[in-house]
């Protein structure tokens, strides 16, 4: 079984494009939980272009026991007005998992992972700070990366494989090499004692092939494609289809 964690950032994008309160990310979270989803992901960014710090707090308060809350973000992004920093958000909301992503302010979306051979010198302290809050720590890594011992030594619990290149290759009808790269990373992580998550551009079209080709994936985080598909087929039916693919 692979846990489906639904990323609701795009719900906030739609709300923010107009202003006001609709659509409400927390309302869609509640509907996801009602449809049997047991994981919710948010990725608040300092520029507040989608999920805001206030959303993170409201969503955390709305989640019942047994639903995992995963907050993604760059732990090195400094606090600023409207964004208290990733650690401060985790201190307030106590997520089950925090996923470190090395994104910058100018990025439209996450497009690369951490290089385990060139990590910031304070990343061990960052991992320790989040783990002290009771959060599992996962690091976003590129497909094909196999240097995993360092991450384990620093205290990380999991890695999340960046699946954007796989999704692009799958859409082009040539997924084999990209899938093998993801599998190498998963195998290396598991050999080092790390759990494996995956995310970015996964969809109903490519998810089953990914999970068949990369064994032992514990969790997938899916938002953009899921929301796009739900615009056509409805929120609950789309979630049910994803749960059927993942088994979770």
Mean pLDDT score of the chain:
96
Contacts of 57 (CB under 8 A, 6+ apart): 89, 92, 93
Residue 111 in this model has a pLDDT that exceeds 80: no
pLDDT at 108: 65
Other CB atoms within 10 Å distance of the CB of residue 9: 21
What is the per-residue pLDDT for 105?
73
pLDDT band at 22 (very low <50, low <70, confident <90, very high): very high
Across the chain, the runs of DSSP E, i.e. the strands, are: 3-7, 39-42, 68-73, 97-100, 136-141, 158-162, 195-199, 217-222
- What digits encode the pLDDT tens for the residues 193-221? 999 999 999 999 999 999 999 999 999 99
Residue 52 exposure: Cα atoms within 13 Å on the Cβ side: 15
Question: Cβ(73)–Cβ(93) under 8 Å?
Answer: no
Domain ranges of the chain: 3-246
Q: Span 9-13, mean pLDDT? A: 97
Catalytic positions are 43, 72, 200
Q: How far apart are CA 21 and CA 115, in angstroms?
A: 39
Query: What pLDDT score was predicted for residue 150?
Result: 92
pLDDT tens, residue by residue, 151-180: 999 999 999 999 999 999 999 999 999 999
Q: With 70 as the cut, is the pLDDT of residue 106 above it?
A: no
Average pLDDT (116-128) is 94
Contact 68, 33 (CB under 8 A): no
Percent of the chain residues topping a pLDDT of 90: 94
Q: Stretch 102-122: mean pLDDT, rounded?
A: 81
In angstroms, rounded to a whole number, what is the distance separating the alpha carbons of residues 227 and 6? 9
Confidence of residue 36 (pLDDT cuts 50, 70, 90): very high
Over residues 41-98, the pLDDT tens digits come to 999 999 999 999 999 999 999 999 999 999 999 999 999 999 999 999 999 999 999 9
Can you tell me the mean pLDDT for 26-32? 98
Q: In whole angstroms, give the CA distance from residue 200 to residue 223.
A: 8
User: 3-246 sits in which CATH class?
Assistant: alpha beta
pLDDT at site 109: 72
Q: What is the pLDDT of residue 113?
A: 81
Share of residues in the chain with pLDDT > 70 (%) = 98
Q: How far apart are CA 60 and CA 56, in angstroms?
A: 6
């Amino acid at each position: 079984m692979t846990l489906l964690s639904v990323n609701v950032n795009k719900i906030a994008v739609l709300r923010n494009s107009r202003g006001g309160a609709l659509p409400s990310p927390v309302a869609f979270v509640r509907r996801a939980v009602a449809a049997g989803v047991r994981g919710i992901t948010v990725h608040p960014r300092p520029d507040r272009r989608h999920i805001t710090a206030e959303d993170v707090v409201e969503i955390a308060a709305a989640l019942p026991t047994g639903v995992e809350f995963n907050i993604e973000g760059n732990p090195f992004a400094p606090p600023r007005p409207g964004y208290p920093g990733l650690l401060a958000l985790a201190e307030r909301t106590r997520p089950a998992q925090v996923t470190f992503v090395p994104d910058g302010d100018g990025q439209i979306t996450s497009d690369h992972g951490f290089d385990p051979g060139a990590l910031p010198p304070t990343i061990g302290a960052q991992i320790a700070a989040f783990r002290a809050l009771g959060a599992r720590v996962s690091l976003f890594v590129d497909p094909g990366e196999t240097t995993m011992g360092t991450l384990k030594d620093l205290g990380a619990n999991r890695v999340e494989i960046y699946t954007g290149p796989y999704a692009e290759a799958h859409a082009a009808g040539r997924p084999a090499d990209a899938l093998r790269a993801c599998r190498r990373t998963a195998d290396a992580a598991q050999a080092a004692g790390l759990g494996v998550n995956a995310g970015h551009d996964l969809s109903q079209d490519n998810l089953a092939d990914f999970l068949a080709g990369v064994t032992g994936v514990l969790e997938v985080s899916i938002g953009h494609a899921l929301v796009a598909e739900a615009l056509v087929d409805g929120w609950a039916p789309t979630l049910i289809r994803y749960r059927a693919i993942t088994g979770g």
